[in-house]
Structure 1
């Protein structure tokens, strides 16, 4: 059984708050300030955020948050980080060619994976620096499912096979490796 997002929030708090600030990046915190840069991100990247990803960033502060080994924000404004990761300056291009694939953006990083969101379909993908056949295969049908499975793997230690079953992922390598 997968944890809900609320259960993940509570379990992360219970597990890491006793460390008195040493592991705050592993605590999922409710947003206490409004999202300021949403229009800027959408304008710069020519995308429209929607669905469970938009709901999640409106409710939770990802500025300094990691879930297991998946890092969303590492300090500073999360949406500004997304703009930087997705604009491409020649150094940090995660895509091949000169133009970022339309409607696809990086939302998180994990060694060795880059986590991508298709802003039209809501599907989540994971790629590595070595192109493979799995790059075009989703790891989850939507962001909420992705978070719930990653959180359940991290906190309940569900199996990779359970993760694959819950997500219906066709990119099974990702779930077997994280």
Structure 2
């Protein structure tokens, strides 16, 4: 088993849900999108940040995450993902100061995890009620690899290859990430 490439994730999801009305399942598809530099600039200005990891910036300009939920990780909530990022990272959220202190931003939510993106290294962390910001755990080396992992996990579960997937994750992302990916699968 190997991690799906981003395009393979998109194609797999399209095939998996081919018989379902696209309006009903749009939140389960990785839909191509043409974002603009202006949207990204608006995000940076609002959040008062100077850089975003280039890979993440490219991704949010190529794919519509405004409605996306992969595995149990919700990125959007039925609208524009840039607006969602602004809402998730505004000063009124209790985690705002914690995110600032580690140079990270919230990019998605799951149960029980909050998904963080390091603004400097581009790695993906998780925190939860059980994992503090000080103890954050890296679960993927990049946002693209995080999406690849989520998409591949859906395939692994559908094809009964959960253990192969978890072995792959341990090899690619490290043994200490297994707990997170197990929860994604089960």
Q: TM-score range by the shorter chain?
A: 0.7 to 0.9
What's the C-alpha RMSD, in Å, of the aligned pairs? Answer: 2.2
How many Å apart are 1:96 and its aligned residue?
A: 6.1
Q: TM-score, normalised by structure 1?
A: 0.87
Distance (whole Å) between structure 1 residues aligned to residue 54 and residue 84 of structure 2 = 20
Which residue of the partner structure matches residue 124 of structure 2? 124
Aligned residue for 1:23, secondary structure, equals helix
Shift in CA distance, 88/131, structure 1 to aligned 2, threshold 3 Å: farther
Cα contact 2:123–2:142 (8 A) shared by 1: yes
SS of the aligned residue for 1:22 comes to helix
Which residue, 56, 70, 73 being the options, matches 1:70? 73
Cα 1:73/1:150, change in 2 over 3 Å: same
Matched, 1:86 2:89: yes
Contact 1:137–1:169 (CA under 8 A) maintained in structure 2: no
Is 2:56 aligned against 1:56?
no
Q: State the match for 1:103 in structure 2.
A: 103
Residues 117 and 123 of structure 2 are in contact (CA less than 8 Å); yes or no, is this contact kept in structure 1? yes
When normalised by structure 2's length, the TM-score is 0.83
1:161 aligns with 2:167: yes
Aligned residues: 175
Match of 1:146 in 2: 146
Higher fraction of helix: 2
Instruction: Structure 2 unaligned segments of length 5 or more: list them.
Output: none
Q: Counterpart in 2 of 1:12?
A: 13
Q: Work out whether residues 17 and 24 of structure 1, in 8 Å CA contact, stay in contact via their aligned partners in 2.
A: no
